[in-house]
Structure 1
């Protein structure tokens, strides 16, 4: 039943769930109070009936000789004195030592084995339920105070049971009315309580239809719904920022891709024209043709590198590798080996101390490769690129890459980590302007920072810092 009930519950609306929960809570409270009240009334009636039997039995047992003739004691005028008598139960009788009925009311009571033991002095008292003429009685048997024998008194339980039945029916009707009222009240409370949620839902649906992320959801009050509205507004702002960033990336990428594609298309059209019209081959000497092919190869390589960098820059969080504790020294060694093969004219020196950070090893290696590539590109032939890895005074990992190139102009320093930004001195050199942007993004994704500055007397210093693992 648990599975079908869970499925049924999940198909209910929030309004229905709240209504059912309120109704169930009130129903539990009402039924609990009704059950306690019924049990209390039933116990009180039993105690009252038992107290009446005890009182009547003591009254008869205290003066057994005056009750053996079948009635209450005689008064001064010789008549039965009823003023000193309680309302003795409708059935009573006096038993002798041999358990024979000596006197009693007109309707006799059964002499049970327990009553015989009390009359014979073998038991102090006996209380039991007996059936007389098809009706249930509570009968009490106690010893007589003088002369031996026993006294039996009994009270009909029918009136008490009928009272309990009527009371139970009234309680059941009250429970039904209370639960019904709770159901109606629950729906009203749920409807009133969900008004802010409905308003928030409508506002979010309007945003989904209009795609207007600049229109915040209205917030009223300081309750949980207001907090939810603030969270929605924060989410909308983040989505809008991501969309703006994506639009900027697409626009910048299309601009940057247009230049190499145009150059490649022009060169290919020239080669195709010579192939289609051999008489024009003299216009493209073999050395020019070879140079043109080399340019095509370089442009295709530049386009491939740009495409790879764009993919890395636009990588979503969901497709990233899992983070782990990474020995940054191993990452630095692997990145330096890769760049050293590509740029054999530059010397790479290191001063690496063991440092562990929590991150993604492949992304960290790509980041360091980009820093080293940039340093090697600006270093003169025979120049030295130095990599230092240590822990600073705050316990953060500190990775420093220095080169001996011309350095970065002061006007360009604030923009070197922007996407597609290329300084005036770099526009004649290969590159996409994305390498340092990827460095900045990777550092930020790992909770770190990156800065660039001059390396005196000449060159550039790039410093990357990561929090400790």
Structure 2
């Protein structure tokens, strides 16, 4: 059986109606009992005012006179609807025409007291029993018919008001909920559209400064971030496919030559064969480096480790690795101890890429200068330098200047440096060299501050 679920606006309207109904019921019950208590107190006050007990306790007044033959319209009947005398022997008497109240054994308990009762004519009454001396007591009563009619009318009125209130509350709740959730409905349609079409550029039309507006803006930022991430991935895949095509084609050509030589039985001269194998080895190494750099660029920033890192140690390790790769170059290193929060592996790779880039563009035997101070690493070479209008483009993936296209490399080294700097809250840029020779790159990182600082 298909599960049926109420819409959010229907659930809110239903809850609103239930809360209003509960509130109306509580108020109605409280008002009904308050009215009942108030009317009972008024009847009790009228019984005390109309009771003949004070007259029957006067000197010389016989309580039996209450039931005498002289009691007519101007007698004790003028006080109240019903009055009767309770004798010490338990018998009762009353004026002519009075509907007696049914009395029980507890009515001889301490007096005066009020209670509810019934007459022999089955009329509900409010009863006041007061002692009048010599073992006698006077029983004064008043019909509760008016009170019960009033309470019944109040109950009916409260019931009708409750029903009308619940209906109005449900309708108003549904209407207000529709108005309040209209932005959510628009956002839901946008989300469903994006889920069906994967169109991350779809506009999110949610305004306002409330929670729904904040949700819409947060969702818009999320889709924008996802769209940018997808574009970066697409650009990376396209650039990688383009860059991989050249080394793969060259490797395939060399491999085809070797395979054809084996199949045809025509041996390749030893010198040419060694050149082919050396070329394959270099191309395989370049291809491996390119794949490794692509993996680094494809990593999510959330994968970056966040630990205290000593940049002095990072620079020392990167320089040692660069020395092993660049025989014949001199490294002039001046490093001060300072600490950042980040990924030690990524930071070392970024510094090593800067050093490799400086070595690649420096003539043999030249000096690569490395300066590491608090928050700043500068690497300067003795090469031809780079034009001012190209400095912003060198950090793009696969970008290479015209003069560098014949040199080894993939054009990803400085892009990795830029990505590492951004992931650690820093920056990287080319600056003017101190003596005007070569190129100088400044790598900035936020310094980890300690309590002592």
Name which of 147, 152, 169 aligns with 1:182.
169
The CA deviation at 1:467 is 2.5
Counterparts of 1:23-422 in structure 2 under 5 Å?
Answer: 23-57=17-51, 59-64=52-57, 65=61, 68-70=64-66, 80-81=73-74, 85-86=78-79, 88-93=80-85, 107-108=100-101, 110=103, 112=105, 115=108, 117-118=110-111, 125-129=112-116, 138-144=126-132, 149-157=136-144, 160-161=147-148, 163-218=150-205, 228-279=215-266, 281=267, 284-317=268-301, 320-391=303-374, 397-422=375-400
> Which whole-Å CA distance do the structure 1 matches of 2:109 and 2:294 have between them?
107
> For the Cα contact (< 8 Å) 2:398–2:411, is it kept in 1?
yes
**Measured at CA, do residues 35 and 360 of structure 1 come closer, stay the same or move farther in structure 2, by a change above 3 Å?**
farther
The CA deviation at 1:175 is 2.1
The CA deviation at 1:293 is 0.8
For the residue of structure 1 that corresponds to 2:100, the secondary structure is coil
> For the Cα contact (< 8 Å) 1:219–1:226, is it kept in 2?
yes
Please list the CA deviations of residues 122-158 of structure 1 after superposition, one character each: whole Å capped at 9, or x if unmatched.
Answer: xxx33345566577654333344x8785433244556
The two structures, once aligned, show a CA RMSD in angstroms of: 3.6
Please list the CA deviations of residues 264-288 of structure 1 after superposition, one character each: whole Å capped at 9, or x if unmatched.
Answer: 1111111112222233x2xx32122
> Which whole-Å CA distance do the structure 2 matches of 1:107 and 1:70 have between them?
13
Q: Which runs of 5+ in 1 are unaligned?
A: 1-7, 119-124, 392-396
> For the Cα contact (< 8 Å) 1:67–1:73, is it kept in 2?
no
> For the Cα contact (< 8 Å) 2:190–2:202, is it kept in 1?
no
> For the Cα contact (< 8 Å) 1:91–1:153, is it kept in 2?
yes
Please list the CA deviations of residues 238-284 of structure 1 after superposition, one character each: whole Å capped at 9, or x if unmatched.
Answer: 333333333322222222111111111111111112222233x2xx3
Which segment drifts farther, 61-70 or 456-465?
61-70
Please list the CA deviations of residues 49-100 of structure 1 after superposition, one character each: whole Å capped at 9, or x if unmatched.
Answer: 322232233x5324443764126998xxx964269944x143443556x887
1:465 aligns with 2:452: no
Q: Which runs of 5+ in 2 are unaligned?
A: 449-453
The CA deviation at 1:298 is 0.7
> Which whole-Å CA distance do the structure 1 matches of 2:290 and 2:29 have between them?
78
TM-score (norm. length: structure 1): 0.79
The CA deviation at 1:321 is 4.0
> For the Cα contact (< 8 Å) 2:102–2:119, is it kept in 1?
yes
For the residue of structure 2 that corresponds to 1:248, the secondary structure is helix
The CA deviation at 1:431 is 0.7
> Which whole-Å CA distance do the structure 2 matches of 1:178 and 1:109 have between them?
43
For the residue of structure 2 that corresponds to 1:140, the secondary structure is strand
TM-score (norm. length: structure 2): 0.82
The CA deviation at 1:189 is 3.3
> Which whole-Å CA distance do the structure 2 matches of 1:63 and 1:381 have between them?
137
> Which whole-Å CA distance do the structure 2 matches of 1:91 and 1:111 have between them?
16
> For the Cα contact (< 8 Å) 1:93–1:108, is it kept in 2?
no
Which segment drifts farther, 155-164 or 270-279?
155-164
